[in-house]
Amino acid sequence: ASNRTLAGAGLHNDDHIDLEDHEKDDRSVMKVPEGIEASIGNTPLFKIKSLSEETGCNILAKAEFLNGVGGSPKDRVALSIINLAEEQGLLKPHSGDTIYEGTVGSTGISLATVCRARGYLAYICMPSDQATEKSDLLLKLGAVVERVPPAPIIDPMHFVNRARSLAAEHTADSKRPGRGYFADQFENEANWQAHYNGTGPEIYQQCSGKMDAFVAGAGTGGTITGVARYLKPRLPHVKIVLADPQGSGLYNRIKYGVMFDTKEREGTRRRSQVDTIVEGIGINRVTANFEAGRELIDDAIKVEDEQALAMARWLVEKDGIFVGSSSAVNCIAAVKTAKKVGPGNTVVTILCDSGTRHISKFWTKAGNVGDKKDSRLEDIVSS
Ligand code: PMP
């Protein structure tokens, strides 16, 4: 090693290093994991200092944007879905098999990347109103991207229906190589199981079981239900709180047992599009992944777009944390939950993805940090 590297490690050329016998043994059995999949999971949990100081609670964030494949909790889900399908013999690497998925982006990015690592092709259907960072990235990964107009779930061109039918067409066409596999993140229970097996136990260990509430938004519902199913039997006092953006029906489902109240019903037709700038969470139907843990959810908090925008700026300004819209929603709900459970308690939430995925939409609306005079936390959460 050069003198510079040695000095960087606090060593000098004439330092003599003797390995103890047990260290030699450890070295010989240490196995370097194979493949990029090893960078999925084991994300840090850290305290958000500003929010903790302001509320008198410990507000802890699980940094899921640090998953090393696609930069979101969906890395866990993509791996879990593909592993299960391989175990069931539904997918075979390097055989021309193509994974089809309907996604607003994060799951597509994780799937497209794990597909590359495992020898599959990815075909991603996503609504055309989602941030272009995500579709551009998917193209760079070599996925086929079909952007479909935003449509209600009853429409065959809804991104989920479109992916499902393309997968079936592929499988039915004997002239095409391999099979079409529909990943089906909304209904596939390998989704919540990824969080039951990974995110949940990691949180439990990282805070030594000392927590009083868990707060998360729901897109498919996999994160909140998987973590809730792990935590509730071990820590029954922990409050599971849904963070729901404006326009989503899940808040009413939890609070009142119905998807829509009369004000939110437009005529007699259910509104299927969630009217919010927030991406990745909020939905107007109950999916299998949400249903898997719905009864474990104790409370729901509605978050307005303006609150999320202000929280995103706050997190950069006070803590140097640059996140996307769903993380900002989670943090608003975490602060409100902290006020409910009271000082001295611990609230855990999720930072889902980085703000870099949201420059063209959410962060354009949020503006540059420092350009605006921002309000006090009190005003942000009560606005
Ligand atoms: N945040 C982002 C950015 C997402 O893409 C998603 C998933 N759509 C979520 C949060 C919500 O996770 P889940 O699907 O597990 O409810």
What's the pLDDT score for residue 383?
A: 73
Sign for the CA dihedral angle at 282, 288, 290, 291 comes to: positive
Q: Which residue's CA is minimally distant from atom 2 of ligand 1?
A: 280
Categorise residue 177: left if φ over 0, alpha if ψ from -120 to 50, beta otherwise. beta
For residue 280, give both structure tokens: 């990745």
Which of 214, 215, 220, 287 maximizes ligand 1 atoms within 8 Å of its Cβ, making it the mutation to test the pocket?
220
Residues found in the chain: 383
Distance 103 CA to ligand 1 centre (A): 10
Q: Is the pLDDT of residue 260 over 90?
A: no
Query: Does the C-beta of 218 come closer than 6 Å to ligand 1?
Result: yes
What does the pLDDT read at residue 134?
A: 87
Active site residue 74: yes
Other C-beta atoms within 10 Å of 217: how many? Answer: 29
- What average pLDDT does range 232-256 have in this prediction? 96
Question: Is the separation of the CB atoms in 13 and 6 below 8 Å?
Answer: yes
pLDDT at residue 4 tops 60: no
Digit-coded pLDDT (tens) for 117-172 = 999 999 999 999 888 888 999 999 999 999 999 888 899 999 999 999 999 999 99
pLDDT of 271 > 50? The answer is no
Dihedral sign for Cα 107, 182, 156, 195, please: negative
Question: Which two three-digit tokens encode residue 141?
Answer: 């990964």
Give every CB contact of residue 328 below 8 A, 6+ residues apart in sequence: 278, 308, 309, 311, 312, 315
The arithmetic mean of pLDDT across residues 266-294, rounded, is: 79
Q: For the chain, what is the HEC assignment?
A: CCHHHHHHCCCCCCCCCCCCHHHHHHHHHCCCCCCHHHHCCCCCEEECHHHHHHHCCEEEEEEHHHCCCCCCCHHHHHHHHHHHHHHCCCCCCCCCCEEEEECCCHHHHHHHHHHHHHCCEEEEEEECCCCHHHHHHHHHCCCEEEEECCCCCCCCCCHHHHHHHHHHHHHHCCCCCCCEEECCCCCCCHHHHHHHHHHHHHHHHHCCCCCCEEEECCCCCHHHHHHHHHHHHHCCCCEEEEEEECCCCHHHHHHHCCCCCHHHCECCECCCCCCCCCCCCCCCCCCHHHHCCHHHCCEEEEECHHHHHHHHHHHHHHHCCCECHHHHHHHHHHHHHHHHHCCCCEEEEEECCEHHHHCCCHHHHHCCCCCCCCCCHHHHHHC
Residue reference for tokens 């590297």: 5
- N-terminal to C-terminal alpha carbon distance within the chain: 58
Which of 43, 64, 72, 79 is the pocket-test mutation for ligand 1 (most atoms within 8 Å of CB)? 72
- List, for residues 27-55, the tens digit of each pLDDT value: 667 789 899 999 999 999 999 999 999 99
Q: Give the model's pLDDT for residue 28.
A: 64
Q: How confident is the model at residue 270 (pLDDT cuts 50, 70, 90)?
A: very low
Q: Where does the pLDDT of residue 275 fall: very low under 50, low under 70, confident under 90, or very high at 90 and above?
A: confident
- The percentage of the chain sitting over the pLDDT mark of 70, rounded to a whole number, equals 89
278 φ/ψ sector (left φ>0, alpha ψ -120 to 50, else beta)? beta
Model confidence at 262, pLDDT cuts 50, 70, 90, reads very low
Model confidence at 225, pLDDT cuts 50, 70, 90, reads very high
pLDDT, residue 332, reads: 98
Which of 238-247, 351-360, 372-381 is the least confident region? 372-381
